[in-house]
Amino acid sequence: MFPSHASPHSSALSFPSHDLTPADYGWDAERERSFAPSRGEDLVPGRVVRAERGLCDVVAETGPVRAMVVPSSDTGDRLTPCTGDWVAVRPAAAAASPVIVEVLERRTAVRRSTSSRTSHAQVLAANVDTVAVAVSLSDPLKLGRVERMLALAWESGATPVVVLTKADRCADPASAAAEVAEAAPGVEVLVTSATTGEGVDVLTAVLSGTVVLLGPSGAGKSTLGNRLLGEDLLATGAVRGSDGKGRHTTAWRELLPLPHGGVLLDTPGLRGVGLHDADDGLDHTFAEITELALDCRFADCAHTGEPGCAVLAAIENGHLTRRRLDSYHRLQRENTYAASRTDARLRAELERPRKEISRHLRALKQSPNFKA
């Protein structure tokens, strides 16, 4: 929120600087090239740092502006820019306010299925480079929840990182990290404490570009975010003593520049992160199962008892845990169910040919901790 627009949170958060340019928010040569036609129409690029219904705070080339969202002339659809979107802005002229006329193509998008019956995906953030999945070490580990968030993160097109928080509240962070690593093949798992500062340097080094903090309420996202930002820009909340649950202190989302480059988006703790059309995300999250499945006798093997199932064989010989397969099945069912509720377009997409096993999987095969 820019200073001129007071909000209930404006005392906790003031826009850090008027000197920042789109370049500070990740505008690059490739984007500039594709923006050339818009320049001809006297539009300027900018990044949405905060999105509300019909109004967005945008760091535009001409400075920070509060811009209105108008229906697109091409499609007649209403534009729905979200935090992190790059947009084409028609600057204020005479009495007219600045207007967002186009949302530029998203490189990545973090989506979850909404809890509503409409079963539309909600875009939590656009053009994200790193999804930091926050997991509190002061609570019992819930690996299924980590896997669900990783699927969502992979599906977005960004690179996930697992950030274990509150290490100061855990007797054995190293073994917790090892346990999480088993559930996160190919993903960096970092141990941190915002209280002691442990691991914050490493985390700073690992995060790049546009970073989104994702995780349940009370996981310590905002506290860690403030550490990364170097000042208390994000509101944090005390966890209720009795049950360790957070109070949903982060009610809004805003992109903030990090002192060492890149930008950070803190998200409110998500009670439900439903998967939305996350086939690829699941394949990445369960990379070793995806890989094993290539050797199943039947191409459409469900790994539930078919003859010649390489996945079940791996459980037999101890290369794969039953927990991993159960979790994979559970999340797949959920994903299929979510997809079945969506419209015909999505259903058609469900039937699209399986995408080629990604580079990630091939690289993973060569990594030392890949067991399959």
Ligand X SMILES: Nc1nc2c(ncn2[C@@H]2O[C@H](COP(=O)(O)OP(=O)(O)OP(=O)(O)O)[C@@H](O)[C@H]2O)c(=O)[nH]1
Output the smallest distance, CB 107 to ligand X, in A. 26
Nearer Cβ to Zn ion (224/361): 361
Q: Which of these segments, 115-123, 190-198, 339-347, 352-360, binds ligand X (CB under 6 A)?
A: 190-198
Nearest residue (CB) to ligand X, 89 versus 194: 194
Q: Which of 64, 269, 274, 281 binds ligand X (CB under 6 A)?
A: 269
Interface of this chain with Zn ion, residues 263 to 302, rule: CB under 5 A:
296, 301
Determine which residue in the list 309, 314, 339, 361 makes contact with Zn ion, applying CB under 5 A.
Answer: 309
Q: Which is nearer to ligand X, 103 or 163 (CB)?
A: 163
Binding-site size for ligand X (CB under 6 A) equals 25
Q: Considering the rule CB under 6 A, would residue 246 count as an interface residue with ligand X?
A: yes
Nearer to Zn ion, 166 or 324 (CB): 324
3-state secondary structure the chain: CCCCCCCCCCCCCCCCCCCCCHHHHCCCHHHHHHHHHHHHCCCEEEEEEEEECCEEEEEECCEEEEEEECECCCCCCECCCCCCCEEEEECCECCECCEEEEECCCCCEEEEECCCCCCCEEEEEECCCEEEEEEECCCCCCHHHHHHHHHHHHHHCCEEEEEEECHHHCCCHHHHHHHHHHCCCCCEEEECCCCCCCCHHHHHHHCCCEEEEECCCCCCHHHHHHHHHCCCCCCCCCCCCCCCCCCCCCCCCCEEECCCCCEEEECCCCCCCECCCCHHHHHHHCHHHHHHHCCCCCCCCCCCCCCCCHHHHHHHCCCCCHHHHHHHHHHHHHHHHHHHHCCHHHHHHHCCCCCCCCHHHHHHHCCCCCCC
Residue 222, binding choice from Zn ion, ligand X, none, Cβ under 5 to 8 Å by partner class: ligand X
Query: Which of 21, 138 has the CB closer to ligand X?
Result: 138
Q: Does 194 bind ligand X (CB under 6 A)?
A: yes
- Residue 332 near ligand X by CB under 6 A: no
Nearer to ligand X, 219 or 293 (CB): 219
Which of Zn ion, ligand X, none does residue 161 bind to, with CB < 5 to 8 Å depending on kind? none
Residue 268 binds to ligand X (criterion: CB under 6 A): yes
Task: Please identify, among the stretches 153-161, 242-250, 257-265, 294-302, the one whose residues bind ligand X according to the rule CB under 6 A.
Answer: 242-250
Name the residues that contact ligand X, by CB under 6 A: 165-166, 168-169, 193-195, 215, 217-223, 236-239, 246, 248-250, 268-269
